[in-house]
Amino acid sequence: MLLELLSSNKSINMEEPWMTSSFLAQVLQSVEETQEEVEVIKVQSSSVVPSGANYCSLLSRVHVNYKLGQENVVKSTSLIVKTPLISGEMKNFLERAGVYRTECVVYNEILPKMYELKDLKSTAKSFHCPLEKSLVLEDLKLSGFVMADRLKQLDFHHCQLVLERMAMFHALSVGVHHKYPDLLPNTGVHLLYNDTLPELYKKQLRGLSQTNLTSLIEELEGIDGCKKYADAIREIAPSHYDKALEFLVPGDKGLNVYNFGDVWINNMMFKYNDDGEVVDVKFIDFQNAQFGTYAVDLNYFWWSSANESVRENHREELFEVYRRTLNRTLDEIGCSEHLTKEDFDREMKSSGPYVVYVLSGVLPLAMAQPDDHVDYNAVKPDDYVDAPNRKNLQSKYFKKVIVKMLQQIDKNGLLDSSI
């Protein structure tokens, strides 16, 4: 989410250090489900993510022409290779949080266990990857999946589909947790609210959170109609970090699920029928996945990706779609848990600290101007004390959505300092 990868449609010839014939042969054997010898004939690679897409990895689309065994038929395929950042403070930041390990565990261990319970297949298929902390995934573009426009946000039908699949995913994670109680709680932490690090890094995270809030407050003060919301966030700010930490701790009584953790428009792909109607969605990023309240994913998605009309007119309806789908799926896989409307509303009402995080740390990225945005990969350690998100807060797209969003957040009582 925090890195943006510059697009370059370069055609290469084994230039990446990992892109060797041996690597590709092992991958293609996994794709073909065979041990036959693979002859790589031609390779072309291009970067996947356009400027402003804000990913935390290097993503390459690799087109390969190859032969199997003694066959004379030349086959071709396209794969997505996801590797860690090579250097920089952002790489260090992500490594400390263990995001690369987390995502590999999700694809290699957790998702297969989920799909044993129900054939959901709401993610890209993964293949054997010889590289450490890296993944090889199917290229969903070959199956007709495309990304939506992050700046337009999602309409009712897109949101309905996302929330249905999210609910199913969450329910399957409950089933997995029953069978493997140590797996999900030990796979993934929050990037910003992480109290398990050495003191130096914990202090850095608290400082980053504070500068994000301070810069948000300062920018809101300059936007018509936002001063009272700036004042409300200023009142919240001193206790915000600790309350967000508390919110993220899995509860003893409430329903805990495995959250995507970073579920916004650019981390999902959609498929449409011939009439242009959305019919399928795939989730494509699990670096920030973590175990805890379902309200993490719901708030992250809702306030970063649902459009103004959806948030204003369909909140209750769509949240009921989520809750009922969750309960139905729990029943289908034999879990006794059941989320009542009362418990759901109470949990969402307690989400204020996390919603403020989405406002200060996520929405500015989602609404960043494509031609003028923060390149977090170029941020140095000292820059964290000087509001590195300020440029994104000044985006015309952020300013376009923030006033109405704050009104909606306030209407739902999520800026109450007592939460």
pLDDT for 53 beyond 60: no
Amino acid occupying residue 161:
L
Average pLDDT over residues 313-341: 98
Q: Which of 374, 370, 364 is nearest to 7 (CA)?
A: 370
Q: Where are the beta strands (DSSP E) in 243-323?
A: 256-259, 268-272, 278-283, 290-293
Joined tokens for residue 255: 């329903």
Q: Are strands 290-293 and 38-47 parallel, antiparallel or unpaired?
A: unpaired
pLDDT for 203 beyond 70: yes
pLDDT of residue 419: 81
Among 17-26, 52-61, 129-138, 254-263, which is the least confidently predicted range?
52-61
Rounded to whole angstroms, the Cα distance separating 249 from 184 reads: 13
Average pLDDT over residues 381-391: 67
pLDDT of residue 385: 55
Q: Which of 121, 115, 122, 168 is nearest to 281 (CA)?
A: 122
pLDDT for 54 beyond 60: no
Which of the four pLDDT bands, split at 50, 70 and 90, describes residue 13?
very low
Q: Which pLDDT tens digit goes with each residue over 96-105?
A: 999 999 999 9
Joined tokens for residue 201: 């890094």
Average pLDDT over residues 47-71: 81
pLDDT of residue 48: 86
Instruction: Answer for the pair 134, 83: CB distance below 8 angstroms, yes or no.
Output: yes
In Å, what is the CA distance from 391 to each residue of 103, 112, 229, 359?
Answer: 29, 41, 20, 14
Rounded to whole angstroms, the Cα distance separating 26 from 220 reads: 52
Q: Which of 93, 354, 103 is nearest to 202 (CA)?
A: 93
Owner of token pair 């902390």:
133
In Å, what is the CA distance from 124 to each residue of 44, 139, 186, 219, 230?
Answer: 21, 8, 23, 39, 41
Beta partners for residue 380, in sequence order: none
Average pLDDT over residues 65-80: 94
pLDDT of residue 253: 87
Beta partners for residue 214, in sequence order: none
For residue 338, how many C-alpha atoms fall within 13 Å in the half-sphere facing its CB?
A: 7
pLDDT of residue 8: 30
Average pLDDT over residues 382-399: 80
Q: What are the structural domains of the chain? A: 21-84 (3.30.360), 146-412 (3.90.1200)
Instruction: Answer for the pair 2, 49: CB distance below 8 angstroms, yes or no.
Output: no
Owner of token pair 């896989």:
333
Rounded to whole angstroms, the Cα distance separating 150 from 398 reads: 11
- Using DSSP's 3-state secondary structure scheme, residue 395 falls into coil
Joined tokens for residue 95: 């490594």
- Using DSSP's 3-state secondary structure scheme, residue 59 falls into strand
Average pLDDT over residues 233-252: 96
Which of the four pLDDT bands, split at 50, 70 and 90, describes residue 5?
very low
Residue % of the chain over a pLDDT of 70: 91
Rounded to whole angstroms, the Cα distance separating 413 from 419 reads: 9
Q: ∠ CA(188), CA(112), CA(177), 5° rounding?
A: 55
